[in-house]
């Protein structure tokens, strides 16, 4: 990696840490929810514990530095493989007729450029379905589309040292709300470090995502902040021989889009909340409940992820994962679990995931990712 590129990465990391954004938001209070969807059946089946994974084109959605370690091509001996992938989720099953037109998909690609690094691009699309248009009577005049949200991401990653890799994403976001639309841009920064444990190879991953201005549809003063978060993860190779490989992955995600609170609004909220309470809330308790600033790292506000992956002869993969979202309590304990399989045949890789049940029809979600490496 050239000296200029190393300096660039260092500068970007400092910008990310000290970027002067005082977004007043938090989980459930942000815009551009397409940026929350991540993606890839492999990641889904591992409980979204993917920030320390590498060599998979879909890692750009979780930690762009994962693109630095692409596997070798089967067509070009000794060279890293380019990859393309497509992921699709249809929500019509869990939501029935109300889910018609609801989907999420992405198309991504990555190409290694030798000593220069790896470049990639991902297009995410989120269909929002339709709505029935009526007048004073219950008769439906027509079905009107709610539009499609887009996020276009350009990625770059490279290995800085034998143990350290870094990556960056640049995003262009376009959101639709009926006949209104808004746009914004964002940056992701990520790094992965291979610890010097030869007996149990362990990779640490860290990524900060969606650094950028809020998105507005009508009034810029009422812009919705982007869902900014910090991901931390590990990938541990528990056992590997010629025919078997067992990997344990884990992750924690902190929602850091709420860095400060407006003091006047905070005082009004405290007064309103304490009006009917015998035991009064303090300012610190309210800030803690909302996960403001450093309080976002309290255990109850963190998303927890863990997954286990077993490869048999680099042909068949079995996966299971566990995911807990802050503030979300599912009806059945089994709904916190995910699972899936992967099949690799020459240049082609097909991943399927089996997720928790949700929606009015209480159906489990099956997601598919196809990857071609060449």
Which domains are assigned to the chain? 3-373 (2.40.160.40)
| Radius of gyration of the chain from its Cα atoms, rounded to whole angstroms | 22
For every one of its 374 residues, what pLDDT tens digit does the chain have, with 9 covering 90 and above? 444 444 444 444 434 433 433 333 444 467 788 999 888 999 999 999 999 999 999 999 999 999 999 888 877 777 888 999 999 888 776 666 666 778 899 999 999 998 899 999 999 999 987 776 666 666 666 677 788 999 999 999 999 999 999 999 999 999 987 778 889 999 999 999 999 988 899 999 999 999 999 888 776 666 788 999 999 999 999 999 999 999 999 999 999 988 888 888 889 989 898 888 888 889 999 999 989 999 999 999 999 999 999 999 989 999 999 999 998 777 777 788 999 999 999 889 999 998 776 656 566 677 889 988 88
CB 173 within 8 A of CB 35: yes
Cα 238 to Cα 139, 226, 294, distances in angstroms? 61, 37, 33
Q: Can you tell me the distance from the alpha carbon of 50 to that of 13, in angstroms, rounded to the nearest whole number?
A: 21
Q: How far apart are CA 198 and CA 311, in angstroms?
A: 20
Query: Helices 283-290 and 263-274: crossing angle, nearest 10°?
Result: 100
CB 225 within 8 A of CB 25: yes
pLDDT for the residue 150: 95
CA–CA separation, 124 and 133 (whole Å): 28
**How many CA atoms within 13 Å lie on the side-chain side of 229?**
26
> From CA 152, how far away is CA 157, in angstroms rounded?
17
- DSSP 8-state symbol, 333: G
pLDDT at 356: 72
pLDDT value at residue 209: 97
Q: Is the dihedral of CA 129, 134, 140, 143 positive or negative?
A: negative
CA distance 112 to 27: 35
**Burial category of 231 from C-beta neighbours within 10 Å (exposed 0-12, middle 13-18, buried 19 and up):** buried
* Residue the block writes with tokens 């490279």: 158
């Amino acid at each position: 990696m050239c000296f200029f590129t190393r300096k660039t990465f260092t500068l970007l990391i400092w910008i990310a840490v000290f970027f002067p954004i005082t977004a007043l938001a938090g989980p459930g209070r942000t815009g551009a929810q397409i940026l929350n969807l991540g993606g890839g059946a492999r990641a889904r089946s591992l409980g979204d514990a993917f920030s320390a994974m590498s060599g998979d084109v879909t890692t750009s959605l979780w930690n762009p530095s994962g693109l630095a370690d692409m596997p070798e091509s089967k067509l070009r001996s000794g060279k890293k493989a380019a990859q393309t992938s497509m992921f699709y989720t249809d929500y019509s099953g869990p939501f029935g007729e109300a889910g018609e037109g609801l989907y999420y998909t992405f198309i991504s690609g990555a190409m290694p450029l030798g000593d220069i690094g790896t470049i990639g691009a991902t297009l995410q699309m989120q269909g929002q379905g339709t709505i029935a248009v009526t007048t004073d009577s219950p008769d439906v005049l027509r079905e009107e589309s709610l539009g499609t949200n887009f996020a276009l991401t350009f990625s770059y990653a490279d290995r800085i040292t034998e143990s350290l890799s870094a990556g960056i994403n640049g995003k262009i976001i376009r959101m639709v709300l009926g006949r209104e639309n808004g746009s914004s841009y964002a940056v992701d920064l990520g790094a992965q470090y291979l610890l010097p444990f030869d007996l149990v190879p362990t990779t640490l991953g860290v990524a900060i995502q969606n650094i950028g201005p809020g998105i507005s549809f009508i009034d810029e003063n009422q812009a919705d902040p982007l869902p900014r978060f910090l991901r931390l993860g590990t990938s541990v190779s528990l056992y590997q021989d010629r025919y078997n490989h067992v990997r344990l992955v884990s992750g924690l995600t902190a929602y850091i889009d709420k860095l400060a609170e407006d003091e006047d609004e905070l005082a009004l909220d405290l007064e309103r909340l304490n009006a009917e309470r015998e035991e009064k809330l303090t300012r610190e308790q309210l800030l803690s409940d909302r996960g403001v600033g450093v309080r976002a790292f309290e255990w109850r506000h963190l998303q927890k992820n863990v997954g286990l992956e077993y490869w048999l002869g680099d042909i068949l993969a079995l996966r299971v994962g566990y995911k807990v979202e802050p503030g979300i309590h599912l009806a059945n304990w089994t709904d916190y679990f995910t699972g899936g399989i992967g099949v690799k045949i020459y240049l082609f890789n097909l991943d399927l995931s089996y997720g928790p049940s949700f929606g009015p029809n209480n159906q489990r979600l099956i997601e598919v990712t196809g990857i071609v490496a060449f």
